[in-house]
Chains A and B, each alone.
Chain A
C-alpha cells in the first residue's frame, strides 16, 4: 500500500483542523469501532459556506480526505457542497488505495450531515434525495 504525495501533504499539514464553537451546522459520521470518526463544522451565510473546520479520528487517508474535502467546499454555496462526491475527493488526492476508499465516502457523508443539521436547525425545507446515504457508517 502506498499513499500519493497529495495524501501525505494533507495528512502532514491538514487544512481547516479545529472546531467552530458557534457553527451553523455540525455533522458527525463514522464510529469508534470501525476506527474512524469525522466531524465537520460549517459556518453558513446567505447559503454560502463561509468557514469550515473538521476534527477527525482515523488513519492518514481519513485525515487527508477531511482536509481536502473542507478545502473543496469552503466559500462554496450549499448547493454545490452537496454535489461533492467521494469520487471527486479521491481524484483531488491523486487517488487512494482501494482499502481506503471508504474514507472518502466518510468525507462526503460528513459534509452532507453538517448541511442537513443546518437545514433542520433553521427549519429550511430540503430534498431528502440530496442526502442520499446511510445514516450508519458502513465501510464499502
Chain B
C-alpha cells in the first residue's frame, strides 16, 4: 500500500486547481500588463483570482499581493515592516522560538542590522501565552510576528487574542499562516491580523506561488523592485497559472473545510491512539489545539531518519525533525522549543494527512510502525540503556 502522509511538506495539486491552470498556459497566456485582448484576458484571470483569495481571507482584493510563496511573504512582511518602522525609531520585533526558518532567519539578519528581537516561549504544549506577549511589548516594538499553526507539531496559536493585544497596544501583527490557511478558519478582520503569509502548495495548489495580505493603509517597504505589478509593491510578471491555480485550490479547500476537518480529525485520532500504544512513545504539542491532519510523535531509542526511511520502504511517506534529516547537528528547533531533550527529539516522526487519506491507510501505517520501531530498537544501544535504566528503577 502507498500512503502519502507528508502533506505539511507539500500536497498533490487538486484536479480543480490543475483544470483552472491549464488554459493559462495555452489560451490565457498573455502578460496581464499588456493592453491587448490576450493580455487583458490574463489581467481578468488575475483580478478574479485576487478576489477569490480575498474572499477566503475576509479582506479586500487590494489587500492581497501575490508572491512566490510562503518564504517570500514572510521575508517581505517582516523586513518590509521593520524597515518602514525603523524610520519612526521602532526597532524591536517580537516572535516565538518555534517559527519557520523563513521568519527566524529573517529576524536573525535584522538583528545583525541593528534591530532587537524577543522570542517568546511556547511551553510544553507548543502554545504561546498571551500574557507573555503583553509583557514583551515595548514602546519601540515595531512588529509582532507569530505563526498561526506550527508546521511540525501542528499546534494552533491564540491568534485572535494575540491580534487583540497588538491592536490595543498599537503594534502591527503579522502571522505566518502557511499551515493554517485552507485547513482551519482564518478571517483576517475577526482575527485582528495586519499581515498574513500563505503558500499555495500547502492546500493542493501549485508550488512557487503564495500571497501576502496587508491591511490597507499600512506602510511597508518593497522587497523586489522593478515593474509596476501588484500595485507597485512587488515587481515581476505575475505567475498567472500559479495564481489562478492557488485561488481555485483555496476556494475548494475553504468550501470543504468543515467536512475535511471532520474526516482528518478522525484519522488523526486513530493514528494518535495507535501510536500511544507503542512503548515509550509520545505525542508532541497540545492534543486539542492542533491542525486536523497533524500527528507529531517521538519514539525513544530510535533515530528519526532511519525510521522514516524504513517507513518509505513500506510505501509510507512521512517526515522527521531529527538532526540527520535537517542536515545540521541539532534536532529541530521546534521540538527543542517545547522542552524535549535532544535524544528524544532525534526520534521524531511527523505524519501529516489530507482528505485523500483513508482510515484503511491509517490502519496500514499502524500495522507497519511498531515492527519498524522494534527492529530499530533491537539494534539500538540507546534503547538498551533506556531498558536497563527503567529495570533498575
Which A residues contact B (CB, under 8 angstroms)?
A: 1, 11-12, 14, 17-18, 28, 32-39, 54-63, 99-100, 139
Given A1-B327, A32-B343, A59-B322; A37-B382 close (CB under 8 Å): yes
Are A37 and B322 in contact (CB-based, < 8 A)? no
Q: How large is the interface on B (under 10, 10 to 19, 20 to 34, 35 or more residues)?
A: 20 to 34
Are B306 and A58 in contact (CB-based, < 8 A)? yes
Q: How many A-B residue pairs have CB under 8 A?
A: 74
Residue of A whose beta carbon sits closest to that of B383: A57
Asked whether any CB of chain A lies closer than 8 Å to the CB of B303, the reply is yes
Are A59 and B324 in contact (CB-based, < 8 A)? yes
Contacts of A14 in B (CB 8 A): 379
Shortest 8 CB-CB contacts between residues of A and residues of B: A59-B324, A32-B343, A59-B305, A57-B380, A57-B382, A35-B346, A39-B381, A33-B342
Which residue in B313, B342, B378 is a CB contact (below 8 Å) of A35?
B342
How far is A139 from B342 in the complex, measured between Cα atoms in Å? 15
- Central interface residue in B304, B329, B381, by most chain A CB within 10 Å: B381
Which residue in A58, A99, A139 is a CB contact (below 8 Å) of B303?
A58
Residue of A whose beta carbon sits closest to that of B305: A59
Given A11-B306, A57-B301; A34-B329 close (CB under 8 Å): yes
Report the minimum CB–CB distance from B331 to chain A (whole Å). 7
Contacts of B384 in A (CB 8 A): 55
Are B309 and A33 in contact (CB-based, < 8 A)? no
Are A17 and B379 in contact (CB-based, < 8 A)? yes
Asked whether any CB of chain A lies closer than 8 Å to the CB of B323, the reply is yes
Contacts of B346 in A (CB 8 A): 32, 35
Contacts of B341 in A (CB 8 A): 33
Q: Mark B298-311, 1 if CB is under 8 A from A, else 0.
A: 00011111100100
Contacts of A17 in B (CB 8 A): 378-379
Report the minimum CB–CB distance from B105 to chain A (whole Å). 19
Are B322 and A56 in contact (CB-based, < 8 A)? no
Q: Which of B338-393 contact A (CB under 8 A)?
A: 341-343, 346, 376, 378-385
How far is A37 from B383 in the complex, measured between Cα atoms in Å? 10
Residue of B whose beta carbon sits closest to that of A28: B381
* Extra inter-chain contacts (7) besides given A32-B342, A57-B383, A63-B379, CB under 8 Å: A17-B379, A35-B303, A35-B322, A36-B303, A57-B303, A57-B379, A59-B303
Contacts of B383 in A (CB 8 A): 57
Residue of B whose beta carbon sits closest to that of A99: B327
How far is A60 from B310 in the complex, measured between Cα atoms in Å? 9
Report the minimum CB–CB distance from B201 to chain A (whole Å). 21
Report the minimum CB–CB distance from A139 to chain B (whole Å). 5
Given A55-B381, A57-B380, A59-B322; A33-B343 close (CB under 8 Å): yes
Contacts of B385 in A (CB 8 A): 32
How far is A34 from B305 in the complex, measured between Cα atoms in Å? 13
Contacts of A36 in B (CB 8 A): 303
How far is A1 from B322 in the complex, measured between Cα atoms in Å? 15
Residue of B whose beta carbon sits closest to that of A61: B324
Contacts of A57 in B (CB 8 A): 301-303, 376, 379-383
How far is A32 from B306 in the complex, measured between Cα atoms in Å? 15
Which residue in B322, B327, B382 is a CB contact (below 8 Å) of A32?
B382
Report the minimum CB–CB distance from B302 to chain A (whole Å). 8
Contacts of B313 in A (CB 8 A): 12
Are A60 and B306 in contact (CB-based, < 8 A)? yes
